[in-house]
A = this chain, B = another copy of it.
Amino acid sequence: MIIKNLPFASAEYDRRIALVRSAMDVAGIDTLFVTDPSNQAWLTGYDGWSFYVHQGVILQGEGDPIWWGRRQDASGARRTVWMDDDNVRGYADHFVQSTERHPMQELAGILQELGAEHIGVEMDNYYFSAKAFAVMQSSLPDARFSDATAMVNWKRGVKSEPELEYMRNAARISEKIIDGLLERVEPGVPKNEVVAEIYRDAVRGVDGAWGDYPAIVPLLPSGTDAAAPHLTWDGRPFETGEATFFEISGCYRRYHAPFCRSLFLGTPPDFLKRAEAALVEGLEAGLEAARAGNRACDIANALAAPLEAAGIERGERCGYPIGLSYPPDWGERTISLRVTDETVLEPNMTFHFMPGLWMADWGLEITESIRITEDGPAECFCDRPRKMFVKP
């Protein structure tokens, strides 16, 4: 007997399926093949670290979705998806990393059996390789394919109340992580020792919320290395005279609340204090602009003004939607908070407002995970001072 522990009630999955089906209708596709692990989990509940082999979810206009993957992972699917066991299909292990056969040949047989004619595929997803598509095309010569990249992702944008509850849990974990590292970082402490405690705090979680693994590992470059946004860590010690940014996220049942703060050990130079002041002013202006009815670009423009006044020109977008995610990204890959994105903001959209400063030889990150409210400025998921912390 399998006891399932689904993260959401069936009404929530019904809502999601209906949203995606409406998008499929607009696109004129009869079958959607979903490879993004976040989309698979959002539609079916599937949860497992098996995305290193080909797998996916098949959704058509009628009937429940089908989870399809490696046979051994079908056992995991039967334990984590809301559908009946009949809607879980596994392929034999000799398809795995073979040079003679490809799992997509097996999938093609299922799609044929289902009468799929016009198939949407997530062309620009990590887990839909060029080879996977080539094999699908050659195995289904009569099918028509359309690019359905981000079709599901766009439907994930506005969060339901149960989803927001999970993100609030994640935010409590994010706060705990930041509190802990601000206390522990000292000159001479090896970086990996601090990361060890970050992970411990993240996975222990908080009262009532066990910690899941975040879709991105902690990022925490120091000094001139903070010019690079995506460096991880090593065993060298923190040093006096350096700023370090900490980019982390608590995670609860795959939902994230990314949160970044910076810490300076010693006396920060004036240029960094001016940058901090401009960045905080920009964040506050951005939060004011992050209102239902405004556009994504309004946030980016509000942020840019005080930064530019301080002589800081950022080339990068300043945020992205967040929620349910699997590695390698905790963003939803739809809206970008940048001056060219005119997407209208809606209540319960959630973003990582992420105006990282990565300059020639220094860096600074002070960010907020936010929710667009019914009216008024954005609500921040975390509640910690919006500043560069300093330990003299």
Contacts and interface: CB of A to CB of B under 8 A. Distances in A.
Interface in A261-290: none
Contacts of A374: none
A232 B336 contact: no
Contacts of A204: 192-193, 196
Interface in A312-341: 315-317, 320, 327-329, 331, 333-334, 336, 338, 340
B203 A73 contact: no
Interface string A43-69: 000011111100000000000000000
Number of copies: 2
A234 B5 CA distance: 10
Interface string A78-114: 1110000000000011101110001000000000000
A228 interface: yes
B217 A336 contact: no
A148 to B, nearest CB: 11
The 6 closest A-B pairs by CB, nearest first: A210-B235, A130-B133, A199-B199, A124-B131, A76-B228, A52-B329
Given A52-B216, A97-B336, 10 more contacts: A49-B232, A52-B328, A93-B316, A97-B334, A124-B129, A124-B131, A192-B204, A196-B201, A213-B217, A327-B328
11 contacts: A47-B231, A48-B228, A72-B230, A75-B229, A96-B317, A97-B320, A97-B333, A102-B124, A128-B129, A129-B130, A209-B235
